[in-house]
Structure 1
Amino acid sequence: MKMSFFGFAALLAAGSAFADTAPTAPLIHDKTGFFVHLDVAKVLSSTDISQQCGVIPAKLDYLDSLGREHVLDYQVDGSGCTNDH
């Protein structure tokens, strides 16, 4: 009984050692919502909303303080509406 337990444990350990051979995803997709904490060290790109009108989808690509790349998809009110007062 003990030998089968140790054999099974060794199989699990060997399987988990080889399971992490795929490279980790370098891009992190952040969740949108209220009170989202963003660790923005450098903005790589953002959606230009100056020529858009109404609520539009936008994207922010940035690096955090550890150098990992993030993407945040969110909704924003465009600033290009000519009828706004």
Structure 2
Amino acid sequence: MKALTLLALAGLTPFVFAAEQADTTARGEPPVEVYTYGMEVDVARVIATTDVSQICGVTPSIMTYEDHQGHVHRLEYRVLGGGCTDG
């Protein structure tokens, strides 16, 4: 049952991502790129990052940054949240 649920969610992910891309493009924001291992990223200045201080576990985060040519980018990557407690 869990495998079926995960498979269904994985199948919907591209549609959700495409809808988000359309929303951000309509608002004039740059599209979100998904980081892959080994990808070269030209970061001159970090503008904003997602707050993950209250999330426990690995979660997606989005960094908005400016490259050395002055172009603004948004990059999604996985990060360990800081909200886990030992108690």
Q: Which residue of 2 aligns with 1:30?
A: 33
- Structure 1 length-normalised TM: 0.60
Q: Which residue of 2 aligns with 1:20?
A: none
Q: 1:26 to 1:55 in 2, by over 3 A?
A: closer
CA distance in 1, matches of 2:80, 2:58: 4
Instruction: Count how many residue pairs are aligned between Structure 1 and Structure 2.
Output: 60
Q: Deviations over 1:39-59 (max 9, x none)?
A: 111111001121110111110
Instruction: Name structure 1 gaps, 5 residues minimum.
Output: 1-24
- Structure 1 vs Structure 2: percent identity of aligned residues? 38
Mapping of residues 39-58 of structure 1, within 5 Å: 39-58=42-61
Over alpha carbons, which structure has the higher Rg? 1
Structure ranking higher in helix proportion: 2
Q: How far did residue 28 of structure 1 move?
A: 5.2
